[in-house]
Structure 1
Amino acid sequence: MPDSSLPSSAAPSSSSSAHEPARRALRVGVAGPVGTGKSSILATLCRELAGGMAMAVVTNDIYTDEDARFLRSAGVLPTDRIHAVETGACPHTAIRDDISANLDAVEDLEAAHGPLDVVLVESGGDNLTATFSPALVDAQIFCLDVAGGGDVARKGGPGIRGADLLVVNKTDLAPYVGVDVTRMVADARSAREGRPVLALSKEDSGSVAELAAWLRDTLARHRAGTLVPRDPGPMAPHSHAHPHP
């Protein structure tokens, strides 16, 4: 289900050449509720792009390093390029309010393995309000899945409304959970006012290629200096019945 606002697939970007100055990696946050497939999205991106990009990953769990162990066992990156943060508290806090542990992890990876092209930062599973601080990431992916219900996209929330890319994941499960993917994606596009939406299944090579192309395009804009981090958080524009003072 292609989205015209997504870039077309292109050859993988290469790491910085010997003639270019070292640059800070593009930092991309991946947020969304528990079980929506955030770790699977990270694994898919690494499988598709690590051959042509220098990549690293930071995962967040409250009390474990389970997501990091999943990625290491999948063999998508060298194990020392996957760093686990155990937040010990609300996962939203660690990506938005007190980002120090995540920022330290990102900077440590860049210092140890740089120059890197991309660092992916996975939030711990949170609710529809989870968004990253723009001080931590340059672009944000928000993930829903069809098993969570076809009505979730139209319920809105900062991540759904304002993330740089909304992924409606696990579309291959739609027949088993009674969800109309076309309707769910249409609701998501309406809520997002033209920002890109991607219907994704890791079993569908076309949608995987679109996801990889989005990251390539975002990296190109980061390198060109035209990517401006946006904050889709609670203070993003909104409307309701009474006026602000």
Structure 2
Amino acid sequence: MPDRSTLRVGVCGPVGTGKSSLIALLCRELAGDLQLGVVTNDIYTDEDARFLRSAGVLAPERIRAVETGACPHTAIRDDITANLLAVEELEDDFAPLDVVLVESGGDNLTATFSPALVDVQVFLIDVAGGGDVARKGGPGIERADLLVVNKTDLAPYVGVDAALMVADAIAARDGRPVLALSRNDPESVARLVAWVRAQLSAHRAGSLVPADPGPMAPHTHADGTTHAHPDADDDHDAA
């Protein structure tokens, strides 16, 4: 059995991909029968937390903000202290919580969560960011527990073939799940909610093992070669 009952879900992705809206959507869909909390990350503001509070998706005190003061990925991967404290305080204040959603600050395609902070991670890209984003890859795109191709309803307005973008994402992920999502499409919303519930069930059963997409995950270059860069700890140990 897991040491704690709360499932910690990280939501990551570049600026504008819809992380806050996805969290608001999950809160609306899950709050009826699950106990939830949210931790947001911004560099110098609590704007994402204020957005969620104003949306009324949860009681305001269940939404906590972390101001990172530095690159967003630092606080979710390199030094997770502030986020870990915020999550643990939520879990203590509202025990027992079922799910805590941790939103990263908007960062680039290399940002991923430390598995010491979250149990599963969702990576978002969106059609408005360009149809080639999935094909270009990156650790979150290739190895996050779930890749969401968001805002598919906007594809006709931005000149993107959403089906091709999803196909590129599937090809990049070696069998890991991909979800094409529009908040205006009830079927895709239901699939997202079902995925979160399945992760919670696996966590409660003790069968969920946090994976690390990691910025040093193996990646493929245009010439077809695949390799991984050693991380700083490996270099230090080898010295």
TM-score by length of 1: 0.89
In structure 2, the partner of 1:5 is none
In structure 2, the partner of 1:176 is 157
Size of the aligned set, in residue pairs, is 226
Q: Residues 93 and 115 (structure 1 numbering): CA distance in 2 closer, same or farther, change over 3 Å? A: same
State the shift of 1:236 in Å: 2.5
**Residue among 143, 153, 163 paired with 1:162:** 143
Q: Distance in 1 between matches of 2:220 and 2:42?
A: 33
State the shift of 1:165 in Å: 0.3
TM-score by length of 2: 0.91
Contact 2:218 2:226 in 1 (8 A): no
- Residue 173 (structure 2) pairs with residue 192 (structure 1): yes
In structure 2, the partner of 1:220 is 201
State the shift of 1:183 in Å: 0.1
- SS of equivalent to 1:29: strand
State the shift of 1:239 in Å: 5.3
Q: Distance in 1 between matches of 2:168 and 2:227?
A: 27
Q: Which runs of 5+ in 1 are unaligned?
A: 1-20
CA deviation profile, 1:155-195 (whole Å, cap 9, x unmatched): 00000000000000011111100110100000000000110
In structure 2, the partner of 1:132 is 113
Q: Which runs of 5+ in 2 are unaligned?
A: 231-239
Q: Distance in 2 between matches of 1:239 and 1:63?
A: 35
In structure 1, the partner of 2:233 is none
For the aligned residue pairs, the C-alpha RMSD in angstroms reads: 1.8
Instruction: Give the fraction of aligned pairs with identical amino acids, expressed as a percent.
Output: 76
| More contact order relative to length (CA 8 Å, sep ≥ 6) | 1
CA deviation profile, 1:44-100 (whole Å, cap 9, x unmatched): 000000111000000000000000000001100000000000000000000000000
**Residue among 12, 20, 28 paired with 1:47:** 28
AA at the equivalent of 2:199 = T
Contact 1:23 1:115 in 2 (8 A): no
- SS of equivalent to 1:216: helix
Q: Distance in 2 between matches of 1:152 and 1:64?
A: 28
- SS of equivalent to 1:186: helix
Q: Distance in 2 between matches of 1:154 and 1:101?
A: 34
Q: Distance in 1 between matches of 2:34 and 2:5?
A: 14
State the shift of 1:242 in Å: 8.6
Note the 1:27-176 alignment, pairs <5 A.
27-176=8-157
Q: Distance in 2 between matches of 1:41 and 1:65?
A: 17
Q: Distance in 2 between matches of 1:123 and 1:190?
A: 26
Contact 2:66 2:86 in 1 (8 A): yes
